[in-house]
């Protein structure tokens, strides 16, 4: 019989090796070698809705403080872009460089020019006030998909929704016609599409599930398929088709729905995530009152790469 002497030092070394191996295997090469999560600001109340422009700058919201902010990728600085912001939540930059906002204050969709001018695109559906547009994604034709859950806000006069169903809607490229794209959700939230415009992922955070849908030529969604047994507040996707879900840090799934990585964030809640920075190689994360960046080996698909 062989006897081993176990010391506190040896236990610590074993745990350190196990933890290192676990983190290494989890990353599966998507995080750049030597990269570490970097907190670039923590002076906000609740950060959400990151959206990158073609230069790699990222717009994000601080809804309790009613402001949209802009992170400069080249300077690594943050400045206020618009305040008040209509209590903007989710954001997306459209194909013409305008900033689209889920303006939660009056349950609207806004189009904001880089000069700050606002065009209100959608205010209601079939004569009823929307529940509260949350997150959005723009397809290849310029149509807008947006999730419409119901989260009671302290700045609303109403206490019940006009529309019972929590749906996903589609706004046609003319930015006028609005139709139901999908329903049957408990609380739809995060949303992201693939670069080829053929697949849309929708997180039902209320049911703790995320689904994939086939996007048809007319904008209709079909072939609802369970992607993973996890919901999400916000979502993004990389050039390999990996899907990034948020909540407890950032959890990454490959296109087959298998978890391949988990990026821990030392905050109570991670709300949203996108790719920004030069060559879309920076993962930009909003979490509680802070924002973080992480250098990646993969890149986003929002803009064509040379």
Sequential DSSP letters for 193-258: E-TTSSEEEEEETTTTEEEEEEEPTTS-EEEEEEEES---SSEEEBTT--EEEEESEEEEE-TTS-
pTM: 0.91
Beta-bridge mates of residue 222? 214
Q: Which of 242, 277, 300, 233 is nearest to 61 (CA)?
A: 233
d(CA 214, CA 202): 11
Q: Which of 277, 299, 241, 239 is nearest to 53 (CA)?
A: 277
Contact 26, 18 (CB under 8 A): no
Token pair belonging to 255? 């296109």
- Please list the pLDDT of the chain residue by residue as tens digits (306 residues): 434 344 444 433 333 333 434 343 345 699 999 999 999 999 999 999 999 999 999 999 999 999 999 999 999 999 999 999 999 999 999 999 999 999 999 999 999 999 999 999 999 999 999 999 999 999 999 999 999 999 999 999 999 999 999 999 999 999 989 999 999 999 999 999 999 999 999 999 999 999 999 999 999 999 999 999 999 999 999 999 999 999 999 999 999 999 999 999 999 999 999 999 999 999 999 999 999 999 999 999 999 886
Token pair belonging to 50? 């990151």
d(CA 22, CA 182): 38
9: left (phi over 0), alpha (psi -120 to 50) or beta: alpha
d(CA 153, CA 183): 22
Domain 9-295 sits in CATH 2.120.10.30: yes
Token pair belonging to 17? 């090796």
Q: Which of 77, 139, 154, 137 is nearest to 102 (CA)?
A: 137
């Amino acid at each position: 019989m062989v006897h081993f002497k176990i010391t506190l030092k040896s236990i610590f070394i074993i745990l350190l090796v196990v933890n290192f191996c676990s983190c290494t295997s989890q990353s599966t090469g998507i995080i750049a070698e030597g990269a570490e999560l970097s907190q670039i600001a923590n002076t906000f109340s609740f950060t959400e809705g990151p959206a990158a422009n073609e230069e790699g700058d990222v717009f994000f919201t601080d809804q309790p403080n009613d402001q949209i902010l802009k992170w400069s990728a080249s300077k690594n600085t943050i400045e206020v872009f618009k305040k008040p912001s209509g209590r903007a939540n989710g954001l997306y930059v459209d194909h013409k460089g305008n900033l689209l906002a889920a303006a939660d204050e009056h349950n609207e969709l806004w189009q904001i020019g880089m000069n700050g001018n606002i065009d209100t695109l959608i205010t209601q559906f079939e004569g009823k006030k929307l529940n509260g547009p949350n997150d959005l994604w723009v397809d290849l034709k310029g149509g807008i998909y947006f999730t419409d859950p119901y989260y009671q806000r302290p700045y609303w006069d109403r206490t019940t929704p006009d529309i019972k169903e929590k749906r996903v809607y589609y706004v046609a490229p003319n930015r006028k016609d609005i139709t139901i794209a999908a329903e049957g959700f408990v609380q739809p939230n995060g949303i992201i599409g693939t670069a080829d415009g053929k697949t849309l992922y929708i997180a039902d955070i209320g049911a703790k599930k995320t689904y994939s849908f086939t996007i048809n030529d007319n904008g209709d969604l079909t072939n609802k398929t369970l992607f993973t047994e996890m919901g999400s507040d916000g979502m993004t996707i990389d050039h390999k088709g990996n899907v990034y879900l948020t909540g407890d840090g950032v959890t990454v799934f490959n296109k087959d729905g298998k978890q391949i990585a988990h990026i821990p964030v030392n905050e109570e809640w991670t709300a949203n995530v996108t790719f920004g920075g030069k060559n879309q190689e920076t993962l930009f994360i909003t979490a509680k009152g802070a924002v973080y960046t992480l250098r990646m080996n993969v890149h986003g698909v929002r803009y064509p790469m040379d």
